[in-house]
Structure 1
Amino acid sequence: MRTSDKLRLLKQKNVYFIDSWYSNNVLENLDKSAAGILNYPVFKNLSKCVIDIAKIKENKGVVKDKTRLVLASRARIFGTDGIRGVVEISPDENGRNFIQRFSQNSKFTPELLETTVYSFCELLLLNGTLKKEDKVLAGDDGRDYFKGKPFLSAVLSGIRKAGLTAVYGGVVPTPAIPLYMAKAGIKAGVDLTASHNPSNQNGVKFFVNGLKVLPEGPYGDYAITAFLYKNMKQSLFETGKYLDENSEVKNFFKASIVNNIPYKKELKNFKILFDPANGAGVFHGKEVFKKLGLKVTSVNDKPIGLNINQGGGVALLEGVEYYKYDRGSNTKSYPAVINKMIKEKHIFGLVLDGDADRVYLLVKNIAREAVYVIGGDKISYFLAKYIMRTKRPAKPVFINTVESDVMTNTAVEKAAGIKTRIVCVGDKWVVQGLKKGETLIVGAEESGHSIVPVKAAGKIVYTGNGIFVGLLCLSYLIKNNVSIDEICRPFEEGVKKTYYTYLIDKKLFQRGSKVFSNDRKIIKAEFKKLAKKYCLNGKIKEKIYKDEPDMLNMSVTQNGVIIGMIFARNSGTETKTSINIRCKATHKEIFSGIAAKIAAFHSKVLKDPRNPDTSKEKYILSVINKVKSFKELKLKTKMEEVQLKALLYGMSKEYFSLKEKILSIM
């Protein structure tokens, strides 16, 4: 925006939004003044491509162009990876429109989904990326369990109402979307999935030219959000065609995995335990294993939509280093896949999430009487190490996120001899972290998104593919005779711990807010106090990531080397915030003490009283130690099974002291 435009708006004393729906939802956190709009965080970074979409129109102090105002205000309903929320198909009792329902209570409705998909398609048409009747690939993870599949219908309808051809690929893992787009020459893709989230939630991911959309740009998060407002009252007809290419998408996906495994012989007759989290990877995984000759036993492999991610999957294992099964261990609260490994002779396991773009490996260490969880850091370390033994690409690089163990990069640099780089949370930022001329060897997220570039129809595709990455890592481990002990602990590990607060009001934690500023003060003051107590001579400094400015990241360096960090951020996929510590093992007491204090503060000030689950959580906390079964708790709370399990899942992550009790009744 030109300086003259800014000044002209600043002179206006009152800029009121045009109607009630506009002022009560996404923009409710903005001051109703030009100064409030222009001083909103990161407004100064408003990109030129966004400015070009629409212009500000002024008439007697009122901004009439809603689309332009939403763009200028930086309103965005997207999270780290698309849009996700709690599914709801019934009419709203308070007469709210679908944007209000989402912004106020995270309600994900078919109307919201269809309009968002239509807006995405409209932007691609306006931008010239697509033209009328072009194909848009659509897939889903199978969780749309409602009669008539209203959410899947909304995706297909949104594409067809834009005059484009909806190509349905069926229930497929997320990576199948960009892979088939490359093969078929399709420029846009839409995936109906909430990934690792509980089954009472759904969501959507968007792809352009095989990559996930970014916040900025002519078809980015901000632009789609603005057009969502513009199109919310549109009444359109489906003019585009519908094609079913289910078998083609599935067959190409399976072939792309099998063809890119270098050591197929090593996998033949190899025994593994498979946990696909009752999701999109169930049948695809089994068929790939069969083609490669693996001997497989499965758990959580009967998907019905309602049970996706329930009782299994990577999200349930996240943050756990190992599960002990010696005589003193209580295994009743362990996930089904862990107990299966303990009881049977399986040494290796492969665990996915609901849309199969994430993977963890499991390894049974009989000598230590424990099942170890091999997360994204370790998987990516092994991949980088052994890929670099067989390839010599130009300017190789390893890219991971702030969530990784601080010791991972040092270990990769030493073992693989390549440069490493740290970016923001989200696999899309891993790909964006690649510089011109560089070759990405592995892109890593500790959460299980590991990106190994593959060729599809002559094109390089960057996508997290749980089945492929898991099998690729296993084949390298077997080929190189890596010992069980080395797999469990391949390098000197640091400390990784996360403190969650669920059911929050996200607006309370952002750069410039009181909570954000208070967190910064607590970290600095506590570090100074504890560093003196433990004789730590380090410098603490805040780093602002331009791709995620609302993340508070405080790192500690010693002689120029990062020895630890604390970062706090809102989840981009759930109504939660997290305090994360990453440090050397010797500094655990310092960093965990600071994080625990902030987490306790967050639990008091960030909970959203408008969320109905907040009061339900409070009630459950008062009775949880008195109930003996899930059935009893369900009767007391009068909640539906899916909703109650989703709430308990979050509570098991937030309240450490109650975790065992909660999991035992789930």
Structure 2
Amino acid sequence: MARKFFGTDGIRGRTNSGVMTAATAMRVGQAAGTHFLRGDHRHRVVIGKDTRLSGYMMESALVAGFTSVGMDVIMTGPLPTPAIALLTREMRADLGVMISASHNPFEDNGIKLFGPDGFKLSDETEASLERLLEQEPQLVEPERIGRARRIEDARGRYIHAVKQSISADIRFDGLKVVVDCAHGAAYEVAPSAIWELGAEVIAIGVTPTGTNINDGVGSTSLDTVKARVVEEGADIGIALDGDADRLIVIDEKGETVDGDQIMALIATRMQHRGSLRGGGVVATVMSNLGLERYLESIGLTLERTKVGDRYVLERMREGGFNVGGEQSGHMILTDHATTGDGTVAALSVLSSMVRTGKPASELLHVFDRVPQLLKNVRYEGGAPLENAQVKQVIAEAESELADSGRLVIRPSGTEPLIRVMAEGDDAVQVEAVVDRICDAVRAAA
């Protein structure tokens, strides 16, 4: 069944148009509420959000939807996505909802759903919700309408939980850390958690206005945090995205450390401690070939999935892995969280700095990257990857890279983009291959 609402990571789009309207949000609340009304207990949903202006509107619409089908609502206010997953389980809720468009600009918003176990919904469950969204809602009798309340201690609960993810003997005294919260959901909790563990914290991206989320700050806009790390003489920079489920690190020299290096560090440290499960790491097709070669050199495997942290997590659960993630910064450590958690991953990195005494630039250069290039081609409509000329160019490129690299071409799950990625030992060859494919896609678009 073709999907009308759900994409790679929940429902996402430009606010007040397409699928991202208050009317749609109310219908999502009604459909999800109906689906998760199971058993004779009093049903409840936990709703969190990031700092977008439209979050108020979407929250109100979702509350109306859920209560109209008989589900009670608990609102947390701005909190990271992993905090909502955590609270859904902790409060024995039937469902969790995060209102966020992650790293997208403020004009966009999204709805992410978690089941009672705190994990993102399966494709099958999302397909069931798609069908319910096309039907008339099953409204309850007036006396069964749900109640809504806001809780005030949600931030403290989450801070306590993330601090429990590292050993009790670890303190960050003497570390100077720049924490960039992207004016997003972690603007209070991430700096607080790191400060409470003893670090000197320079917090940036912590003054949300409703319209400045991800604007020149955060994990997808690194110039500000890089400059601040160097200016302050900090030991490390921590860059989160709008909903704080991903992490990019800046070392003390102002250099970027992506998710592949972070995964390599965490997996190596856990392997040494005997706590790594599954015999390796789960990542997506976008992770660098250098990561795969490094893991093989120390007796571990890299299992790849299609792009999307939910698919990484599905494979982790199937194979018993406890470390996985994406090059873009989603770090999934299932010993401590049921979804990507940038703050938990950051604490793990800082803990390793304390244990080893090594600077970030040394500690986080775990392997040498293979030259890799990713370019995006925007298109207005149609299916450019189905074009015969595009297919031919792609086939030729695959043959050219067969012995020394990889090619990954896919449509974005959230935007009208074709993503073209190639990697190999010859950087000039990689760039030429990507440019040829991009040119062919543009000609067909």
> Which TM-score applies when normalising by structure 2?
0.92
Contact 1:132 1:163 in 2 (8 A): no
State the shift of 1:421 in Å: 0.8
- The equivalent position to 1:429 in structure 2, one of 302, 307, 311, is 311
SS in 2 for 1:185: coil
SS in 1 for 2:188: helix
State the shift of 1:256 in Å: 0.9
Point out where structure 2 has 5 or more consecutive residues left out of the alignment: none
State the shift of 1:502 in Å: 3.2
Q: What's the CA shift string for 1:414-444, capped at 9, x where partnerless?
A: 34x33331111111111111365x4323112
Aligned-partner Cα distance in 2 for 1:131–1:175: 28
Counterpart for residue 83 of structure 1:
11
Contact 2:325 2:340 in 1 (8 A): no
Q: What's the CA shift string for 1:517-537, capped at 9, x where partnerless?
A: 433310223455xx4xxxxxx
Aligned-partner Cα distance in 1 for 2:168–2:296: 25
| Aligned: 1:74 with 2:13 | no
Counterpart for residue 242 of structure 1:
148
| Aligned: 1:210 with 2:115 | no
Matches within 5 A, 1:215-614: 215=123, 217=124, 219-220=125-126, 222-231=127-136, 239-247=145-153, 249-262=154-167, 265-317=170-222, 335-365=223-253, 371-392=254-275, 395-415=278-298, 417-434=299-316, 438-455=319-336, 461-487=337-363, 489-502=365-378, 504-505=380-381, 507-509=382-384, 513-514=386-387, 517-526=388-397, 528=399, 531=400, 556=402, 558=403, 563-583=404-424, 586-606=425-445
Aligned-partner Cα distance in 1 for 2:33–2:77: 20
The letter for the 1-side match of 2:383 is L
The letter for the 1-side match of 2:235 is I
| Aligned: 1:135 with 2:44 | yes
Larger radius of gyration: 1
CA 1:117–1:131 in 2, change beyond 3 Å: closer, same or farther? farther
Aligned-partner Cα distance in 2 for 1:186–1:232: 21
Matches within 5 A, 1:146-185: 149-185=56-92
Q: What's the CA shift string for 1:41-95, capped at 9, x where partnerless?
A: xxxxxxxxxxxxxxxxxxxxxxxxxxxxxxxx4334211101111112xxxxxxx
Contact 1:108 1:202 in 2 (8 A): yes
Aligned-partner Cα distance in 2 for 1:131–1:153: 26
State the shift of 1:491 in Å: 1.0
State the shift of 1:145 in Å: 4.6
Q: What's the CA shift string for 1:281-300, capped at 9, x where partnerless?
A: 11001221221111011222
The letter for the 1-side match of 2:281 is F
State the shift of 1:150 in Å: 1.6
Counterpart for residue 39 of structure 1:
none
Aligned-partner Cα distance in 1 for 2:308–2:317: 17
CA 1:111–1:509 in 2, change beyond 3 Å: closer, same or farther? farther
The letter for the 2-side match of 1:243 is R
SS in 1 for 2:289: coil
- The equivalent position to 1:121 in structure 2, one of 29, 33, 40, is 33
Contact 1:404 1:582 in 2 (8 A): no
Q: What's the CA shift string for 1:566-585, capped at 9, x where partnerless?
A: 122121122322111133xx
Matches within 5 A, 1:641-652: none
Higher relative contact order (CA 8 A, sep 6+): 2
Aligned-partner Cα distance in 1 for 2:32–2:414: 19
Contact 1:145 1:304 in 2 (8 A): no
CA 1:302–1:485 in 2, change beyond 3 Å: closer, same or farther? closer
> How well do the aligned residues superpose, as a CA RMSD in angstroms?
2.5
Aligned-partner Cα distance in 2 for 1:411–1:298: 34
Aligned-partner Cα distance in 1 for 2:47–2:311: 23
Aligned-partner Cα distance in 1 for 2:3–2:12: 16
State the shift of 1:133 in Å: 3.3
Using the aligned pairs only, state the percent identity: 23
SS in 1 for 2:265: helix
Contact 1:145 1:306 in 2 (8 A): no
Aligned-partner Cα distance in 2 for 1:264–1:173: 26
Ranges of 4+ aligned residues in structure 1 off by more than 6 Å:
232-238
Aligned-partner Cα distance in 2 for 1:518–1:156: 49
Aligned-partner Cα distance in 1 for 2:110–2:45: 18
CA 1:304–1:397 in 2, change beyond 3 Å: closer, same or farther? same
> Which TM-score applies when normalising by structure 1?
0.63
| Aligned: 1:192 with 2:73 | no
The letter for the 2-side match of 1:341 is V
| Aligned: 1:109 with 2:37 | no
Aligned-partner Cα distance in 2 for 1:527–1:202: 36
Aligned-partner Cα distance in 2 for 1:266–1:250: 21
State the shift of 1:310 in Å: 0.4
Contact 1:136 1:186 in 2 (8 A): yes
Q: What's the CA shift string for 1:373-404, capped at 9, x where partnerless?
A: 11100001000001122234664431111110
CA 1:150–1:223 in 2, change beyond 3 Å: closer, same or farther? same
The letter for the 2-side match of 1:79 is G
Contact 1:278 1:302 in 2 (8 A): yes
Q: What's the CA shift string for 1:487-537, capped at 9, x where partnerless?
A: 4532121122211123643x5246xx33xx433310223455xx4xxxxxx
Contact 1:267 1:293 in 2 (8 A): yes
Contact 1:168 1:243 in 2 (8 A): yes
Contact 2:177 2:200 in 1 (8 A): yes
Aligned-partner Cα distance in 2 for 1:453–1:440: 8
Aligned-partner Cα distance in 2 for 1:394–1:576: 36
CA 1:445–1:200 in 2, change beyond 3 Å: closer, same or farther? same
Contact 2:74 2:148 in 1 (8 A): yes
Aligned-partner Cα distance in 1 for 2:398–2:328: 27
SS in 2 for 1:316: coil
The letter for the 1-side match of 2:99 is L
Point out where structure 1 has 5 or more consecutive residues left out of the alignment: 1-72, 89-100, 318-334, 366-370, 456-460, 532-537, 539-555, 607-666
Contact 1:264 1:475 in 2 (8 A): no
Aligned-partner Cα distance in 2 for 1:384–1:588: 28
SS in 1 for 2:220: helix
Aligned-partner Cα distance in 2 for 1:385–1:394: 12
Q: What's the CA shift string for 1:303-322, capped at 9, x where partnerless?
A: 111100001111224xxxxx
Aligned-partner Cα distance in 2 for 1:424–1:233: 36
Aligned-partner Cα distance in 2 for 1:84–1:232: 22
SS in 1 for 2:426: helix
